[in-house]
Chain A
Amino acid sequence: MADYKLTELMTIRCAKEIKDGEVVFVGVGLPIVVVAYAFATHAPNMIMFTEGGAIRATPPIALGITVDDPALFTNADAAFGMLATMAALQRGEVDVAFIGGAQIDKYGNINSSGVGNWTQKESWTYFAGSGGANDMATSGKRVLAILPQDKKKFVDKVDYITTPGYLEGPGTRERLGMIGGGPTCVVSTMGVYRFNDVTKEVYLAEFFPGQSIEKIKANCAWDLQVSPNVVETTPPTADEVKVLRGIDPTGFYLG
């Protein structure tokens, strides 16, 4: 079995959610490595739209450190601004939107704005602001999320809803006029989750090697549903890890 880091397992597993030929919308950070990896392996015809406004940015050489990094605007079909690619989200051109976060609840509502109580600022710690996550996850056809897991991160109610998932459950997005399909897959530091088509509740679909269902449930604040077909995630092969490390040779993203 290949020697790999947790971030590498998460990245490679997440990349498998991207299908060849799809338009994927990314900000910056781990998602950009996921996209670059998908592009280098099973999805050479996927297309990257960046939050900063590049259409068909070139992933393998474009591990930018910020959303508007010049590297993300070379060898693209078009270099616009954020208004253009975000509008593309709204009109339905984006198949997969890819976000991170700090807290999630059982309906896939995600907090990436800050922790504490927004109305009592002395208890509120901003990460930075709400940024583009809400734009991506409201309007992307489907949404992938990647985030760390423990009991303070997989919570009953998030401190701040930056990005609505299914809110209170079935029908809520539609009632609100939210145009995109909502979250379909969450990759955490412990496993892979999907959403029940009827109840819209998240369930455990895969656990990572070295994890157990009990351990994962203990790191989740609500009574986590587990798929009857739950399986252990296939660990990455030596070749897969090699390709990934070629994308981020200094470990800037992967640690």
Chain B
Amino acid sequence: MLGPVSSKIKSISKLKYDEIPFEHWGLTATQTRRITEQKDHSMRDKRMTLKEAVTRYIKDGINLGVGGFVNTRVPASIIHEIIRKGTRNLTLSLQSNSICLEWLAGAMLLDPDRVSIKRVELAWWGYELIGIAPLWRYLVTNRIVETDDYTNYGMSVRFKAGAMGIPFIPVRDHGGSDMELVNRGKMIECPFTGENIYLLPSCNPDVGIVHTTAADMYGNARIFGALCTCPEISMASAYTIMTTEKIISSDTIRRYPNLTEIPYVAVDAVIEQPFGSYPGACYGYYWFDMDHLRMFRGLCDDFSKTGKKDGLKKYFDEYIFGCETYDDFLEKVAGHKKLRHLREMDGGQPIYTM
């Protein structure tokens, strides 16, 4: 039996950190397999409304796998609906994300009985060049959420392991950093080469949420631009809700099978939602709404500096609770001219939905 090997990080690090016994923050790969085995795998029309999908799959206490990357192809419309439905004690699993998480955090700070986040396993939470995420900083500093720190590749391969149905995956990195001390991975000696290698547990969310470029009614999906680990998140999750810019026919999908990035079996709900990643970008369709991202970030920043919730509350009342659907939100917040402008700003190459 192989014991964990010491990489001496404890003697190098400034941190005095005691190891916490390992605990899964969601399903194991095996538990996920058992759920998957029980599902109906036949070709079924999985189209439904966002409301139906969120009511069916989003429960209190689940591990929610959030697709997209930072501001790109993020499942914003699904998060919007989740906040309106309300859900508590969430564990969030993600690579890197921005507005989706800040929306959830804002909802929690306004009314923790409606939305609450218990813990977050992640690589990064921020807006990149637009700035740091004020609510994330607030949640951590005030010990409101528990966190587990990985690298971008680390979270990607954790989903990959989940998607492969295996309990862990070895990586070359993390070792020698403080992540080795604080996260739930382990350094071991490779049984074959004798090299030190870092093992990461698989990540299997209860529900994965992704937005795709185009999909058929069964859930076969195309993704243009960055894949953002969305295929892996869909396959690693016990259930997957997918919004897509455009529903296309099964015949179209079958004409170019190489373009399918997510297979239908990994998907449980399909919702056509144009501008489903707004105010994030969706390759080939529209660019970021920098103004909106900055405006909302500004409200969050005000709250974190002053503790006053008025601005945030007004935003949520108007743009989230004051909307029945994401289309309502888009009409209210952006309008035709703005959306048209964002389409013109998109720098993506042509996408194929024929």
Contacts and interface: CB of A to CB of B under 8 A. Distances in A.
B52 interface: no
A65 B288 contact: yes
Contacts of A135: 151-154, 173
A134 B151 contact: yes
A62 to B, nearest CB: 8
A83 B160 contact: yes
B154 to A, nearest CB: 8
Interface in B56-115: 69-73, 95-96
B149 A129 contact: yes
B31 interface: no
A160 B153 CA distance: 19
Contacts of A163: 177
Interface in B285-306: 287-288, 290
Interface string B161-181: 000000000011111111100
B197 A177 contact: yes
Interface in A105-132: 113, 117-119, 121-122, 124-132
The interface centre, meaning the residue of A90, A118, A119 with most chain B CB atoms within 10 A of its CB, is: A118
A183 interface: no
Nearest to A177: B196
Given A51-B152, A135-B153, A139-B172, A129 B12 contact: no
Nearest to A163: B177
Contacts of B284: 70
Interface residues of A, number: 64
A72 B156 CA distance: 19
B281 interface: yes
Interface string A121-153: 110111111111111001100000000000000
3 nearest CB pairs, A to B: A81-B227, A177-B196, A128-B126
A119 B15 contact: yes
A131 B176 contact: no
A161 B13 contact: yes
Contacts of B229: 81-83
Contacts of B172: 90, 138-139, 177-179
Interface in A58-73: 65-73
B48 interface: no
Contact of B69 (A29, A82, A138, A157): A82
A82 B283 contact: no
Contacts of B137: 125-126
Given A65-B288, A67-B128, A54 B232 contact: no
A52 interface: yes
A28 B123 contact: no
B178 A66 contact: no
